[in-house]
Amino acid sequence: MSTTPSPNAAPVVTIDGPGGAGKGTISRLIAERLGWHLLDSGALYRLTALAAAKHEVALDDEATLAEVARDLDVVFVAEGEATTVLLEGRDATTTIRTEQIGDAASQVAALPAVRQALLQRQRDFQQAPGLVADGRDMGTVVFVDAPLKIFLTASAEERARRRHLQLQEAGVNANLSSLLKEIQARDARDMQRSVAPLKPADDAITLDTTRLTIPEVVDRLTELLTERGLATAT
């Protein structure tokens, strides 16, 4: 059975929000600034979806998907500012970031047995000196006692624009209108699922990044960290 982290465990900052709000980038930068560990919880669901595809497990086969999640053969290899993700010994870093895997991960994440299977694996990332946890239910379910909870958001249109630009820079052709529809569908699925729906924790601070630059968001979060005694003023 999963257990709740000890109140004396290393501090955690949770950064939740919908896809495209900037959670990944912001979480990495904050973790680097603090010298803390980083949990990309979305990667675990994406890896579960990818492993399911590799082993031809249907996305509605909840029991088997839970077994896949529990037995994931995953290694995260930090290389400077980047992290290489190995699934069953093979580089999956780029593959898990595709729109197809992202959509499959959203379906997988709606299954209670899968979420339960990954719960303790996520909590095990809570180690000294601290953890920045990026996801959709980090503050509401996984780390409910975190001393600072952030909910990053942005308009669906802005998130689609960012993703479109990201794909263009990677040399991938994408339709902006289609991306917007995919984001809206994923938002609806994430917010309406029966277990751990996407929403701010009651004690979370919501920050809309639609018109903010990455440095502006990092500066604002650093201010909040300093106010909570989790970072030293510079």
Question: Tens-of-pLDDT digits for all 234 residues of the chain?
Answer: 334 445 457 999 999 999 889 998 899 899 989 989 889 999 999 999 999 999 999 999 999 999 999 999 988 876 666 778 999 999 999 999 888 999 999 899 999 999 999 998 899 999 999 999 999 999 999 999 999 999 999 999 999 999 999 888 888 888 999 999 999 999 998 899 888 899 999 999 999 999 999 999 999 999 999 999 998 765
Q: How many domains would you assign to the chain?
A: 1
Position 75 in a domain:
yes
Place of tokens 């999963």: 2
Domain membership flag for residue 148: yes
Annotated binding site: 17-25
* Residue list for the binding site for ATP: 17-25
**CATH number, residue 217:** 3.40.50.300
Angstrom distance (rounded) from CA 4 to CA 1: 10
How distant, in Å, are the alpha carbons of 101, 146, 151, 164, 190 from that of 1?
29, 21, 28, 41, 25
- Which residues span the domain enclosing 121? 12-221
